[in-house]
Amino acid sequence: MTKSVELQFDTEIRAASDPNSISQAKNLLGKGQLVAIPTETVYGLAANAFSEEAVARIFDVKGRPANNPLIVHVSSVEMAQDCVSAWPDEADILAENFWPGPLSMILPKSEKISNIVTAGGLTVAVRCPSHSIMKDILGQCGFPLAAPSANLSNRVSPTKAEYVADQLSGRIPLILDGGACQIGIESTVIDLTGQTPTILRLGLISQDHLQEVLGDVRVAAFENEANEMLKSPGQLQSHYSPRAKVIIGEGSWEDLLNKLNKNTHVIACESVPNNWSPDTWHEMPKTVRGYAKKIYETLNRCDQANAESILIQPLPLESEWDAVRDRLSRASIN
C-alpha cells in the first residue's frame, strides 16, 4: 500500500437521501473513481466494472490480493447478461426467485469483463442488489459496478457509513450514508459453472432456499491454499476478522465467564448479568435475522472499545444459523 493511496482524499460522508449526493456519486464513478455505497447486505466499495483502471483502484485501496475476484453489481438480468457469456436456465430461475437480493451467481465471463475483475479467472460473479440507493446509482450510471465489501482486506465488513470511514477515510473521495444495512452479512455466492450448483459462500439465502427452486445444490468443501487461484477465495480462513482475538465459548459458559479478564468483551443472546459491566457485554437478538444484522456492527464496536478479546456464546446448531456461524468461526481464526 503506497502512502499516496492513503492520503489522497478528504473523504466526504454524505446522506444518500440528498439527491445531489447521488449525482456526485455518479459523476465520480463515471470518472473512474471509487464510491462507498450501501447495499442490503453490507456497504460496497464501487467502481465502473468496465474500467480496468477503476477496478485496479479497488485492489489498491483495500490492500486486496489480486487473486481474489470481485462481485459485479447489475440493475437487471439484461445488464447481467452483458457481463457473462452463458446464461443457463438455473440463472433464470434464481434471478426470478431471488433478484433483486443477496445472491451472487458465478457464470462464465464475457469479453467485456476484464481479467482484473475476475482475478485472471474465466468466471464472474454477478449480483442484482435490492437496496434503493445502489439501484438508483446503477440506473443512473448505466454500467455495472464492481463492488467488494467496503473494508480493508481481511477486516470486518462495514454495515454503517461510520465503519466504512474508520477503515477507508482518506483513501476514497465519497461515502454515501444510507444508515444501517438491513441484512448485515454478505450475499450467498453460488457457482453455476459446474455439474451441480455449488454454494461457495453461505448467506441469508440458504442451501434449503436454493434447493427448493433448483433441486440438488451442494456446499463447497472448505479450501485454504492462499497462494492458488482458489475455487472460492472468499473461503480464506482469515476473512472477516476484527482486531481483537475472537473466542467461541465452548464448554461451560459460566466457567468461561468467571475466568475472563477485564478487557474481554462478551457477545451473547442473554442479558447482562448483575455482576458484569454493561459496557463490555453485548446482548444480541435471538433470531438469525436480528443476529446477522447486528454481528458485524458489534464486532466493530468491540474494536472501537479496544477490546483485547471477544468471547462469543455458541450459536444454536440449526442449519439456518450456518451462515452466521461460518462468519464467526472465520473471525475466530487469527
Instruction: Establish if 149 lies at the interface with Mg ion (CB under 5 A).
Output: yes
| Cα dist from 73 to 39, 141, 273, 311, whole Å | 10, 12, 44, 35
3-state secondary structure of 141: helix
Instruction: Establish if 234 lies at the interface with ligand TXA (CB under 6 A).
Output: yes
124 binds, among ligand TXA, Mg ion, none (CB under 5 to 8 A by kind): ligand TXA
User: Is the Cβ of residue 149 or residue 280 nearer to Mg ion in the bound state?
Assistant: 149
Q: Cell digits for 112?
A: 467485456
Contact positions with ligand TXA (CB under 6 A) in 74-113: 102, 104, 106
Query: Of 8, 68, 140, 169, which one interacts with ligand TXA (CB under 6 A)?
Result: 68
- Give the span between the Cα atoms of 223 and 182, in whole angstroms: 29
User: CB 148 → Mg ion: shortest distance, Å?
Assistant: 5
Residue 44 identity: G
**How many angstroms separate the most distant Cα atoms in the chain?**
62
User: Is the Cβ of residue 52 or residue 283 nearer to ligand TXA in the bound state?
Assistant: 52
- Give the span between the Cα atoms of 197 and 214, in whole angstroms: 8
Helices assigned H by DSSP within the chain: 3-7, 19-30, 52-62, 77-83, 89-98, 132-141, 161-168, 207-214, 253-259, 288-304, 322-331
User: CB 297 → Mg ion: shortest distance, Å?
Assistant: 16
Query: Of 34, 35, 44, 210, which one interacts with ligand TXA (CB under 6 A)?
Result: 44
Beta bridge partners of 248: 312
User: Cα 277 to the chain's mean position, in Å?
Assistant: 31
User: CB 160 → ligand TXA: shortest distance, Å?
Assistant: 14
User: CB 88 → Mg ion: shortest distance, Å?
Assistant: 26
187 binds, among ligand TXA, Mg ion, none (CB under 5 to 8 A by kind): ligand TXA
The closest alpha carbon to 169, from 4, 1, 26, 8, belongs to 8
Q: Cell digits for 69?
A: 475476484
Listed ranges 5-13, 14-22, 148-156, 191-199: which one lies at the site for Mg ion (CB under 5 A): 148-156
Helices assigned H by DSSP within 11-88: 19-30, 52-62, 77-83
Instruction: Establish if 159 lies at the interface with ligand TXA (CB under 6 A).
Output: no
206 binds, among ligand TXA, Mg ion, none (CB under 5 to 8 A by kind): none
Instruction: Show the site string, 187-206: x = touches ligand TXA by CB under 6 A, - = not.
Output: x-x----------xx-----
51 binds, among Mg ion, ligand TXA, none (CB under 5 to 8 A by kind): none
- Binding residues vs ligand TXA (CB under 6 A): 39, 41-42, 44, 68-71, 102, 104, 106, 118, 121, 123-125, 127, 147-149, 186-187, 189, 200-201, 232-234
- Binding residues vs Mg ion (CB under 5 A): 149
